[in-house]
Amino acid sequence: MNEKNNTLLIYTLLYFGFLYVPVLFLPIFSFNDANYMSFPLAGFTTEHYEEMWSKRNLHKALWASIKVGVVASVISTTIALFAAKAFARYKFRGQKISYGGIMMPFLIPEIILAVAILIIWINLGFKLGLVPVTIGHTLFCTPFAMLILIARIEGFDFSLEEASRDLGENAWGTFFRVSFPLYLPGIVAALLLSFIISFDEFILAFFLTGSDATLPMYMWGQMRFVQKLPHVLALGAVIIVFTTFIVLLAFWLRNVGQGKVKKDIAVKL
């Protein structure tokens, strides 16, 4: 289609505005020299950022979120890598049901997962805290990681693996020296995106943390008090910049890597 459609273009740009403008208010007001968020802006200040820096509880919550995020993303990406390989490589009985089952946590309302894990956890006599949150996040991140990895592995030429086996390399050697390097950009993308999902996740943390707050829980606790809002805005702005950076990095890895692998294979052939 070579025609242009200006009405649709304008609409699309407006839609972009709808998506982006609300998020941009956080950074804007984080530099506003006032405790309330309304126009006109009162003046420029970095005071809220200094305040944010001085909060001990915030540091604790940040550390908790990082721990949960790292553990959940590493475990879920590892599990997802095996699963993705099974779906991309083999045709087998019960494939659809297994796939649906693994995708379920992504489809069920999160509150139901949270409630179910809460019930089993307290009835096993365990204390609420970061461990059940990590389990919940691992469950929730696995389908995301698997989708990313399947996309990666599907474009993969399995004859490379067979060649390696024929040349006498064993299964582990083949995996580490042939498959793993080729999957690597996808693995890193899956790790980064799983980390971000866990880092931002609220509902599971809300039900399962008990007293060890994660970062979203900390923000939730502060949002109730008007005078504490400004430093939440500053924190929010930092989180937005950080997540945007990580997500762009993950997208870039996914795409650039993909092109490169195909080129490499084409060159070798």
Partner 1 sequence: MIGFWKKIYAKHDSVKAYSLLSPALILIILAMVVPMALMLSFSMFTQVNMMEIDYTFTFQRYIDFFQKNLLVTLLIKSIKISFLVTLITLITAYPVCYYIAFYVKKNKMLWLVLLTLPFWTSYLLRVFSWKIILGTKGVINSSLINAGILNEPLTFLMYSETAVVITLTHAWAAFALLPLYVSLEKIDFSFIEAGRDLGLSRFEVFWKITFPLSLPGVIGAILIIFIPTVGDYVTPALLGGTDGRMLSNMIQAYFGKINNIPLGAASATIMLTTVVFITIIVSNVTKKLTQRLT
Longest dimension (CA), the chain: 72
Q: How far is the CB of 243 from partner 1 (least distance, A)?
A: 5
To which residue do tokens 């937005």 refer? 240
What whole-number distance in Å separates Cα of residue 237 and Cα of residue 14? Answer: 23
Q: How far is the CB of 95 from partner 1 (least distance, A)?
A: 8
Q: How far is the CB of 269 from partner 1 (least distance, A)?
A: 26
Q: Is 125 left (phi over 0), alpha (psi -120 to 50) or beta?
A: left
Alpha helix positions (H), the chain: 6-30, 47-53, 56-89, 95-107, 110-123, 130-154, 159-166, 171-174, 180-200, 203-208, 215-223, 229-268
Q: How far is the CB of 37 from partner 1 (least distance, A)?
A: 5
What whole-number distance in Å separates Cα of residue 159 and Cα of residue 4? Answer: 45
Q: Which is nearer to partner 1, 236 or 269 (CB)?
A: 236
What whole-number distance in Å separates Cα of residue 63 and Cα of residue 208? Answer: 17
Q: Which is nearer to partner 1, 90 or 225 (CB)?
A: 90
Q: Which is nearer to partner 1, 97 or 267 (CB)?
A: 97
- Quote the DSSP letter at residue 55: -
- Quote the DSSP letter at residue 129: S
Q: How far is the CB of 268 from partner 1 (least distance, A)?
A: 26
Q: Which is nearer to partner 1, 6 or 267 (CB)?
A: 6
Q: How far is the CB of 59 from partner 1 (least distance, A)?
A: 18
> Is residue 190 classed as helix, strand or coil in its secondary structure?
helix
Q: Which is nearer to partner 1, 93 or 268 (CB)?
A: 93
Q: Which is nearer to partner 1, 49 or 202 (CB)?
A: 202
Q: How many CB atoms lie within 10 A of CB 108?
A: 12
Q: What b/e sequence results for 202-224 when a residue is b if at least 16 CB atoms lie within 10 Å of its CB, and e otherwise?
A: ebbbbbbbeebbbbbbbbeebee
Q: How far is the CB of 267 from partner 1 (least distance, A)?
A: 23
Q: Which is nearer to partner 1, 88 or 160 (CB)?
A: 88
